[in-house]
Structure 1
Amino acid sequence: MTPARPAIGYPGIDRTYGDLYDRVTRLAHALAGLDVGRGDRIAYLGPNHPSLVETFLAAGLLGAVFVPLNARLAPPELRFVLDDSGARVVVLGGGHDGGGHDGGGLPGRHLSQDAVEELIAAAPAEPVDEPVSQDDLCLIMYTSGTTGRPKGAMLTHGNLIWNTVNLLVDVPLAHDEVTLVSAPLFHIAALAQTLVPTVLKGGRALLEPSFEVDRTFDLIESERVTVMFGVPSMFTALARSPRWASADLSSLRHLLCGGAPVPEPLIRTYRARGLTFLQGYGMTETSPGALFLGAGHPDAKLGSAGVSCFFSDVRLVAPDGSPAAPGEPGEVYVQGPNVMPGYWRRPKETAKVLSADGWFRSGDIGVADQDGYVRISDRISDMYISGGENVYPAEIENLLYAHPAVAECAVIGVPDEKWGETGKALVVLRSGASAESEELLAHLDGRLARFKIPKYLEFVPELPRNGAGKLLKASLRSLYGEPRS
């Protein structure tokens, strides 16, 4: 439709939509020449780069299945994913710095970026006309594996289409968007919440191999970035920068945030600059959008994950299987055309989380208010029981974040002889700030029931996170799970 419009930007590379169409078509022919066809898996290893987008789209043209590999995984982890997916071809992406993943020892046929360029140059440019339906498998995206071996969430073309429609109902993306994609495209939010909707609308996607604070400010100012997705830790890093107060952020229209609840103090910091978070909640298995808090909602709803996306249904289920009442915690269930059909070659795992009528059990705990706005409390596995009372760490963490000395925090349950379990807070202080543990615990007094206030508080240099920016509570429990402070 718009072959002359800019489509993809990357340091040293600019591609129009005409360029992108030509290269993707040629790459699809080249892959077909390597006996890659309908249903075959094509893996990609590397950070954000135009070749990742081209491989993703070429796989779709062929009816093949794209498998984005987490570039931060160790070789044994990569071998597991490649063996599990049965990928026939592994594209070693442009800009890949090696990192121990040069393809050596990994199964499948490897294509370096130089080899891909040679194949594209030699391939025909005739259109590819392989019938592909919404029910056909589009990609297998492996979950982070924080609770064990990663599982491959199967996402269809229809899953991605309906997720995009859900997003566009809430976010009025235009044809002239300039979207900064610095979160990794091997995670679902960057791929499905930012790249795909931008391309659908004919906007320009600026791909960055990694997130860097100064580089982000530079690009916002020089390229007039209008859309940005990030996890809360990325937006926190920007707000802490010395450049925050003076940076020209006037071009920004939409700040999409997910991966974890956005601390309310961070929301207020951005609102002081005239910027509003569009916060959502979802997961790989829901492509990912399930809940969304768009612009124009009442201030009282800030910090919540919003309401069900338009073409999705969300309900909260109490432990006994009944609907959770407003104000009461319940497990988040999601149903809709964006929900995956299951895990790749994992029928037993699929049956544990996906009912016969398509309701997906998230394993997350949420609380809805009288208007249906949902706040995500925690993973079921992160909840602990103190003296017979369920304690949800996110509630405590949100209050700790409100203390001016706290940069980051996490609360875990630790063994206690009297109560069975009690809370332990792990706190990263802001640069230049100081505080005593007693002071921070006193900050919670009167704001929480006494059984929710952690018994212990320890200051730590940093909190472990995975590649998507999500806090690794299992790692925290392993490192700091002793009762002592």
Structure 2
Amino acid sequence: MLNKGLGSWIHKRRVKSGADIALILDDYQLSYAQLATRIDRLAAVFAERGVTSGTRVAFLGGNHPAFLETLFACNMLGAIFVPLNVRLAPVELNYALNDSGSQMLICLENLDDQARLALQDSSVREYLTVSNTPEAPSEYETALHASSGNYRDTAVSLEDASIILYTSGTTGKPKGAVLTHQNLTWNSLNVLVDYDVTSKTVALLIAPLFHTASLGMGALPVLLKGGTLVLQERFVPAEVLQAIEKHGVTSLSGVPTTYQLLAEDPAWAQTDISTLKMLTCGGSAVPVRVLEAYEARGLGFSGGYGMTETSPGATSLRAEHTRAKMGSAGLPHFFTSVRIVDGLGADLPAGEVGEILISGPNVIKEYWQRPDATESSYYDGGWFRSGDMGYLDEDGYLFISDRLKDMIISGGENIYPAEVEQAIMEIPEVESVAVIGVSDEKWGEVPWAVLVLKEGAELDTEALINHLNGRLARYKIPRTAVFTDSLPRTASGKIRKAELRNQFGAAQS
């Protein structure tokens, strides 16, 4: 085949496992053969509308078969897929469309109003809407059914761009991370080596596919292996539990809050989750109380660390090591390497905190049209600067300390908010927390905790400090607790600590 990239995957799956179920959304199912036919038809539609090698095609929508159909149809033609975050404001969407130079936008119908605002003064020339109900009448389905659908084997190399994913942009404008076919293929191979993904895997995707973890760690490895994806359009704990039981889900991915809400749902105890074999958790370490809730039902958590720029996996922690390496993000993925360096780029010994550097075929080589950002993001030519702080223990396991820019320096001591936040999350009354540095005449900075409590719960600063005494060094314990109804977050769900620092008078980094 001429196509060495992702565009060939579903065509090959049609030959190897055509009758097997590839996608499920509610009661709608597509076999690999049916999915391949739809992708062939969509690729022909794109080609008829001027999409060719290098053309950018954007998609606005959540977990829907059309998301994956658009991705693979683009990659069949050598075009570049640009998934957009549905939580972005129209002006932010417009920026991503114009920065990427997207010529076409595919959009779910419920987001049409938002999309049309974003399309004003944009580079987009072709626009197709898709019904939120699969195969219901829409511009997208009409075009598919009128298409010739002949398979197109286009020359695509592993070094060619497959996807442009825009980072959250906590400061300045978001950057477009260029993920090549090589990046995504090797990341998928890392997942297959380090996790128990098989052709019998039934993976429930509850995080949006436009987030790199859901796509790179969930969808693509499972499709490469020939397993089944169960798409969940929104996260409602009761509906997730129903889907696990209905479809015999074997694999589930989420963040600590996801698993906490599932375990607290009234249906938790009565739901048959006996088919579950693999739980993966990213974003932060699993609080002990959540870990115990799942261990009581015979389940453990695999963890890991990564980012958009690593497609996204950098490290993985197998479930059997979760207790022994509590708080660790695990070992580097099989085909990936990790270093810890000081401010001058020199390697640090085990146990010493420094910046995390990552290298491997899953690591991006550039940001879209941002040579300045690309140049400043690498050491020694190929080691990506994560901007995260951490250390390796004597066994090579990675422990994340915090974001470099979020580190608090109090009286000459380094305080890593993630460590403090993890200890605070052990308190049952706490829903979420952010620890920030606030200016102090004596110490330079002191830590403050900004907390959201569970509905009806009560907690004061004294109780918080009493909980942390003996768990953390005294200089790490927040001087003040601030209680609020919600924490400001980016479109991808990350807490905007810069806003909290501005609000509470923190020293600026």
TM, length-normalised to structure 2: 0.91
Q: Deviations over 1:143-181 (max 9, x none)?
A: 011122100000000100100110111112121221111
Residues 102/9 of structure 1: CA separation in 2 closer, same or farther (3 Å cut): farther
Partner of 1:33: 48
Query: How much does 1:481 deviate?
Result: 4.2
Query: How much does 1:47 deviate?
Result: 1.5
Distance 1:327 1:18 in 2: 51
Partner of 1:193: 217
Query: How much does 1:13 deviate?
Result: 2.4
Runs of 4+ aligned structure 1 residues displaced above 6 Å come to: none
Contact 2:302 2:322 in 1 (8 A): no
Question: Amino acid of the residue matched to residue 26 of structure 2?
Answer: P
Partner of 1:294: 318
2:66 is the counterpart of 1:51: yes
Aligned equivalent of 2:398, options 354, 366, 374: 374
Aligned equivalent of 2:382, options 350, 358, 379: 358
SS, match of residue 52 in structure 1: helix
Moved more, 107-116 or 19-28: 107-116
The alignment of Structure 1 onto Structure 2 pairs a total of residues equal to 482
Distance 1:271 1:343 in 2: 41
Distance 1:307 1:13 in 2: 38
Residues 475/266 of structure 1: CA separation in 2 closer, same or farther (3 Å cut): farther
2:128 is the counterpart of 1:111: yes
2:266 is the counterpart of 1:259: no
Question: Amino acid of the residue matched to residue 468 of structure 2?
Answer: L
Query: How much does 1:299 deviate?
Result: 2.3
Distance 1:72 1:405 in 2: 28
Q: 1:4-403 residue pairs with structure 2 within 5 A? A: 4-93=19-108, 96-98=110-112, 100-102=114-116, 104-105=119-120, 107=122, 108=124, 109-113=126-130, 114-297=138-321, 299-355=323-379, 357-403=381-427
Query: How much does 1:478 deviate?
Result: 3.5
Residues 231/469 of structure 1: CA separation in 2 closer, same or farther (3 Å cut): farther
Distance 1:247 1:464 in 2: 33
Question: Amino acid of the residue matched to residue 151 of structure 1?
Answer: K
Contact 2:81 2:163 in 1 (8 A): yes
Query: How much does 1:237 deviate?
Result: 1.5
SS, match of residue 339 in structure 1: coil
Q: Any gaps of 5 or more consecutive residues in structure 2? A: 1-15, 131-137
Partner of 2:480: 456
Contact 2:88 2:491 in 1 (8 A): no
Contact 2:345 2:379 in 1 (8 A): no
Distance 2:409 2:26 in 1: 50
Contact 2:24 2:230 in 1 (8 A): yes
Give the percent of matched residue pairs that are identical in Structure 1 and Structure 2: 46
Residues 71/346 of structure 1: CA separation in 2 closer, same or farther (3 Å cut): same
Distance 2:371 2:340 in 1: 25
Question: Amino acid of the residue matched to residue 405 of structure 1?
Answer: E
Moved more, 305-314 or 424-433: 424-433
Distance 2:113 2:425 in 1: 35
User: What is the RMSD of the two structures over their aligned residues, measured on CA atoms?
Assistant: 1.8
Contact 1:184 1:468 in 2 (8 A): no
Distance 1:373 1:86 in 2: 41
Partner of 1:404: 428
Distance 2:254 2:503 in 1: 27
Residues 291/398 of structure 1: CA separation in 2 closer, same or farther (3 Å cut): same
Partner of 1:478: 502
Moved more, 133-142 or 442-451: 442-451
